[in-house]
């Protein structure tokens, strides 16, 4: 079974993180949250939000992106950063069992430092209409997770 990981950098909307957590439970994936978080994920807050599956989320948090890199120690080819600023779409990416699907915050994205440092590792989900600026974060993460799963488990 695949064990790639979904990483959210400074997520802002608890409902998106909750939906991505549900996808992670469904696919038996680890969810990594990189602070700052714009919401609480303590037991009381999660219970109040009605996320009865949250206790099953394989969750890890890091204080910063640099701590994530230090502790996880991924190689560059394991990193896939999702951004609308690139033309390389996820169907051209080569996902591996030990890769990381990395998404930025809902309003700010990944930030210029990450986009510049990892410009060769950027991928996007295709959007063909000029009427849409971006996709919902949880929809994008789920679509990316299933494409990675397709490549890894069915290649």
pLDDT digits (tens, 9 = 90+) for 61-97: 999 999 999 999 999 999 999 999 999 999 999 999 9
pLDDT digits (tens, 9 = 90+) for 124-134: 999 999 999 88
Sort residue 149 into left (φ over 0), alpha (ψ -120 to 50) or beta: alpha
- Burial of 75 by CB count in 10 Å (0-12 exposed, 13-18 middle, 19+ buried)? exposed
Tell me the pTM: 0.94
Q: Are 76 and 95 in contact (CB under 8 A)?
A: no
User: Is the four-CA dihedral 106, 108, 114, 120 of positive or negative sign?
Assistant: positive
- Burial of 50 by CB count in 10 Å (0-12 exposed, 13-18 middle, 19+ buried)? exposed
What's the CATH number where 136 sits? 3.40.1280.10
The number of residues making up the chain comes to: 155
Domain of residue 125: give its range. 5-154
Number of domains in the chain: 1
């Amino acid at each position: 079974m695949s064990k790639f990981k979904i990483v959210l950098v400074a997520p802002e909307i608890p409902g998106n993180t909750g939906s991505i957590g549900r996808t992670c439970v469904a696919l038996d994936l680890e969810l990594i949250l990189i602070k700052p978080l714009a919401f609480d994920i303590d037991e009381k807050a999660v219970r109040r939000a009605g996320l009865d599956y949250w206790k099953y989320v394989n969750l890890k948090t890091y204080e910063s992106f640099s701590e994530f890199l230090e502790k996880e120690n991924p190689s560059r080819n394991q990193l896939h950063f999702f951004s609308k600023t690139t033309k390389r779409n996820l169907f051209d990416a080569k996902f591996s069992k030990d890769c990381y699907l990395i998404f930025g915050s809902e309003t700010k994205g990944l930030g210029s430092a990450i986009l510049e440092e990892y410009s060769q590792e950027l991928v996007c989900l295709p959007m063909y209409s000029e009427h849409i600026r971006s996709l919902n974060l949880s929809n994008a993460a789920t679509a990316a997770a299933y494409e990675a799963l397709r490549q890894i488990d069915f290649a």
